[in-house]
Structure 1
Amino acid sequence: MKSVKCPTCSRKVMKYGKTRAGVQRWFCKVCHLSFTNVYNDATKIFQSFLNWLFSKKTQKDMPGQGRTFRRTTKRFWNLWPLPPKIDVSRDVVYVDGIYLSRNLCVLICCDNTHVLGWYVCRTENFRAWSNLMKRIAEPKVVISDGGTGFTKALKYVWPLASHQRCLFHAFCQVRRYITNAPKTMAGRDLLSIARNLFKVKTPEAACAWINELRNWRILYNTFLQEMTTDEYGNKRATHERLLKAENSLLKLVKQHTLFTFIEIADISVPNTNNRIEGGVNAQLRDMLRAHRGLSLERRLKAVYWWCYMHSPRPLSISEILKVMPTDESISLIYQRFNEREKVDYSIPQWGDGLAWNELHRSTEFPTYWD
């Protein structure tokens, strides 16, 4: 058992009887301070809260059907784990977004072993991707599935990083347009070309695949130019979905993001983002499925906690309880910034009031009104 020390001078103390409740009282001979040593079990309870959150154990199987557990762990739902700032550059990182509802998405960035950052937004866009990437050192290669606004954010935040588009998602986009069983010969040939993406391993094979895609267009050019007139007299392409499937592949070829894993020889670059799909997103979905019934805010915090505990250097449990912000502290910060913004709007703007520099200038010519 650890020796009890005085909270004032940190010296050893002696027993000094007990309180009416039967709690041991202690006395310091130096400070003449009498106190009771209250045991703080918040760390232990918080650890059990995280163990439950990351497991498939349900509250129904707990004693009292989890009523005691919910009462003792309710305070931990107020904490918000913050993402770390990554200063060390990685060779390869993976980015993707997981949707918790129609208008709530969590953007996640990870490497082969840890989660590097996360950011919550309504939809995937340039601003959201930029805010996620600004806290992470620029890597050599980024693998993504082509989320909205990511390409623009990559050029703005990580201009020197190479981009590898996930080949599986590129194939799925083609299959989404022409289905898995096309009825036309052109559709079947294009689906076969898309499947051949996974067989490309060398620069020669990549050039052969691009030529195969171009030859497909030459072969079915007349067929693809067929037009259809609707009931209102408007003309549109008869095989519009075939053209969209082809354009999705041509766009990646023009952007040079389809075969980046072949062009970079000094490091090993995967051609899919299976690491984040199976290693992060699948784990998060399993966790939310095991604890279904949580409110949207608690689902979001559960994702935050999983990402934080799988970050490179998470703090200890006791440090987390000390430094992580709560709902109350975030609300207070928001209120202060809101009040400051109101004050800024109340100050006269340009053209509404006199500026000091307009009548007080530092020049070589004399000014007699100073």
Structure 2
Amino acid sequence: MWITQGYTVKQLSKLSEHSQSTIRRTLKYWLSKEPNLCDEKELSKIKHVLYDATYFHRGNCFLVLADNKTKKIFFCEFVRSENYQQARNYFDRLKAFGLRPKVLISDANQTILKVFQDVWANAIMQRCLIHASFQTIRFLHKNSKTKAAQDLKSIAIACSRIKSQKNKEEFENAYTNWRLKYEPFIKSLPNESYEYKEINKANTFLKDSLKDIFYFLKDRQIASNTNYLENLFKTLKENIRRHNGLTKKHKIAFVKWFFFFKNPKKTTLFEH
């Protein structure tokens, strides 16, 4: 309850009828250990993998992998950032232990996509539809006055709502028409102008994303987004903010225990 629901020591003391000092000692004991999120024997069975990372202040970052079928978190590691070499080291180990995913569903982080491609070259890379849409919108200033930017923003929003082949075809038609109408205008803009930079970046990003965002329409086991992990991250951060003063070691343990308790099925209790 302290981890998964954000209860305070005072609240737990009242509920359990144990003293606050006893509660603190118990929490400190368990935070000195880390749970094992996955039995290595299970890795070979995982075929559809969800990936996302969550950042805390001061550069703390956790790389997280989940089985999309069971929604079980099977990997969580602390790193300074989504660095190629650190991610590569961890994912190479997972591959050595038997992880052979058919599909990897992730956000649009280019570094991680590169790692995935290098480690699991034969896997399908499904980009998160929501991330692709929102990143396109981020390139466009919210007060953009050009009609080209405004229309592209509407198309990007429609992209995030695609759920069927019909939706996809409507989106593709709208986007093709947008390109035919506005790409000559974009090329006419001075290359150093703000309008050119924002629209060109957004258009290039969306165009490059299209080859990797629609696999989910052909296979129901492929998620179209990483919302499951995003929602867990939101709850995790809300809970951890209630417990100020955690050391780095205890914060890492807290995050892993959070995923352990949130997993549908518990695994072996300790890594060490």
TM over 0.5: yes
The TM-score with structure 2 as length reference comes to: 0.81
Deviations 1:54-87 (A, max 9, x none): 3322123436972332235433332233443243
Per-residue deviation, 1:116? 1.3
Query: Using the alignment, how far apart are the partners of 1:78 and 1:199 within structure 2?
Result: 44
In structure 2, the partner of 1:165 is 127
Report the structure number with the largest CA radius of gyration. 1
Secondary structure, counterpart of 1:102 in structure 2:
helix
Determine which of 308, 323, 328 is the counterpart of 2:260: 308
Query: Using the alignment, how far apart are the partners of 2:113 and 2:27 within structure 1?
Result: 41
Query: Using the alignment, how far apart are the partners of 1:142 and 1:153 within structure 2?
Result: 11
Does residue 95 in structure 1 map to residue 51 in structure 2? yes
In structure 2, the partner of 1:75 is 29
Per-residue deviation, 1:201? 4.5
**Larger RCO (alpha carbons 8 Å, 6+ apart):** 2
In structure 2, the partner of 1:283 is 235
Code of the residue aligned with 1:271 in structure 2: it is S
* Cα distance change, pair 283–76 in 1 and its aligned pair in 2 (3 A): same
Q: How does 1:347-358 map to 2 (within 5 A)?
A: none
Deviations 1:226-272 (A, max 9, x none): 455xxxxxx6144211111111101112xx2121112x34x432211
CA contact (8 A) 2:6 2:240 kept: no
Determine which of 68, 87, 107 is the counterpart of 1:129: 87
Q: Unpaired segments of 5 or more residues in structure 2?
A: none
Determine which of 290, 293, 296 is the counterpart of 2:248: 296
Query: Using the alignment, how far apart are the partners of 2:260 and 2:35 within structure 1?
Result: 6
Per-residue deviation, 1:304? 1.5
Q: CA RMSD in A?
A: 2.7
In structure 1, the partner of 2:213 is 258
* Cα distance change, pair 221–314 in 1 and its aligned pair in 2 (3 A): closer
Determine which of 68, 74, 77 is the counterpart of 1:116: 74
Number of residue equivalences: 258
Q: How does 1:225-236 map to 2 (within 5 A)?
A: 225-228=187-190, 236=192
Q: Unpaired segments of 5 or more residues in structure 1?
A: 1-50, 229-234, 326-370
Query: Using the alignment, how far apart are the partners of 1:300 and 1:148 within structure 2?
Result: 25
CA contact (8 A) 1:129 1:149 kept: no
Code of the residue aligned with 2:61 in structure 1: it is C
Q: How does 1:312-351 map to 2 (within 5 A)?
A: 312-316=265-269, 320=270, 324-325=271-272
Query: Using the alignment, how far apart are the partners of 1:308 and 1:131 within structure 2?
Result: 23
Code of the residue aligned with 1:215 in structure 2: it is N
Code of the residue aligned with 1:269 in structure 2: it is I
In structure 2, the partner of 1:270 is 223
Query: Using the alignment, how far apart are the partners of 1:137 and 1:252 within structure 2?
Result: 26
Code of the residue aligned with 1:258 in structure 2: it is I
Code of the residue aligned with 1:54 in structure 2: it is T
Q: Give the percent of matched residue pairs that are identical in Structure 1 and Structure 2.
A: 26
Deviations 1:186-242 (A, max 9, x none): 1111012112214544556545534533432332234313455xxxxxx61442111
Query: Using the alignment, how far apart are the partners of 1:206 and 1:314 within structure 2?
Result: 40
Query: Using the alignment, how far apart are the partners of 2:31 and 2:221 within structure 1?
Result: 41
Does residue 54 in structure 1 map to residue 4 in structure 2? yes
Deviations 1:141-198 (A, max 9, x none): 2211122411111112222221111111111112212144532111111012112214
CA contact (8 A) 1:107 1:132 kept: no
